[in-house]
Structure 1
Amino acid sequence: ARFLEREWAEHGLDQYMTVLAGQEMGTKADHLRLAAKGKYDDDRILLIGDAPGDRAAAADVGVAWYPIIPGKERESWARLRTEAFDRFLAGTYRGDYEDSLKAEYDAVLLSTPPWEVIER
């Protein structure tokens, strides 16, 4: 938890958090359940992540997932800002659009060994 606290404080993000939950406080699915499940409709909860475990947590809880594509991190964050988040807010994220992002993630993940993925 100290690493998370230090890293988030270093970037000025800690001021926006009430709780900073790391592994010591449960799984990502646990965090989603505690923080948002039942407080918001499932279509109004978006987990952003780069790992298969992030995707699994979102699926386990029944919420949307936005993938940060390995090797295309900058592009992924830009697309979230310019396209995906607007769709999420408009209620048009889930379904075909989310499925296309997952397929893009799968194609990269399944075709490139992790040791060959290099940030551009």
Structure 2
Amino acid sequence: MTSPASHPRLRRAGLSLPRLGFGTAPVGGLYTPVPDEQAHTVLTTAWDVGLRYFDTAPWYGFGSAEEHLGQALAGRPGLILSSKVGRVLRADIPPHPTQLTADGTPGFTRPLG
């Protein structure tokens, strides 16, 4: 693991990022459906081997990647999270076709507010 001093810096924000991060699109069902338990195992294993930077988005499985990430890593000190904005997840807005999981269903199944 590299020291924080060797992390690339985002100057305007005063932040530094590890050189290696975990993209969560696959645990949102990008290529194949991912059961909750499997997603949790993958994310906690990534944490256990030292990854601290995780990238996610509402677009990944219609929110399921964010949901998995929150369930697996909530409250972990040192977690660095990046996400995107622009897609509102609400029950009255159907998912865009590119937000569907590999089996063709929205990843986010609980009511959205």
TM-score tier, shorter chain, comes to: 0.3 to 0.5
User: Which structure has the highest helix share of the two?
Assistant: 1
Higher-RCO chain (CA-CA 8 Å, sequence separation at least 6): 2
